[in-house]
């Protein structure tokens, strides 16, 4: 995937000279990059409507129930917000492979959601 957006200064600072691979651009303009072969950094420009601090809270909450990326850093400045997470094995559900086999992707997502439900519900 290629993103034509300039890489935000904060993302470059977090990467500390390591290569950045663009991974995702969401509907609200949020950008996700992988740093080298390691962690991911999400960036949301100020005013985008994205709340990466809340996303970080949800990841921490979900961790006891299902495999989610570990939150390594989350903060904001005058330009926007960032969330750095550890890499996890797997693929996004929007990868070409899963777009071609949406049933399998949906079942996997549903099983993950079910794992987060309290027992007996």
Pair type for strands 80-85 and 71-76? antiparallel
Q: Both tokens of residue 19?
A: 């290569």
Closest by CA to 18, choosing from 3, 36, 41, 33, is: 36
Q: Both tokens of residue 2?
A: 């290629």
Per-residue pLDDT of the chain (121 residues; tens, 9 = 90+): 566 778 999 999 999 999 999 998 888 889 999 999 999 999 999 999 999 999 999 999 989 888 889 999 999 999 999 999 999 988 877 788 888 998 998 998 888 888 777 665 5
Cα Rg of the chain (Å, integer): 15
Do 26 and 47 touch, CB atoms closer than 8 A? no
CA distance 23 to 30: 11
- The CATH number of the domain covering residues in 9-88: 3.30.200.20
Q: Where are the domains of the chain?
A: 9-88, 90-121
Determine the pLDDT at residue 119.
Answer: 62
CA distance 111 to 114: 5
């Amino acid at each position: 995937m290629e993103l034509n957006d300039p890489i935000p200064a904060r993302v470059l600072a977090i990467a500390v000279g390591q290569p950045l691979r663009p991974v995702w651009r969401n509907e609200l303009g949020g950008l996700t990059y992988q740093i080298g072969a390691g962690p991911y950094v999400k960036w949301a420009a100020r005013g985008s409507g994205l709340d990466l601090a809340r996303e970080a809270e949800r990841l921490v909450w979900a961790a006891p129930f299902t495999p989610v990326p570990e939150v390594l850093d989350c903060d904001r400045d005058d330009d926007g917000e960032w969330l750095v997470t550890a890499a996890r094995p797997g693929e996004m559900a929007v990868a070409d492979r899963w777009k071609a086999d949406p049933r399998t992707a949906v079942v996997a997502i549903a099983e993950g959601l079910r794992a987060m439900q309290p027992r007996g519900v």
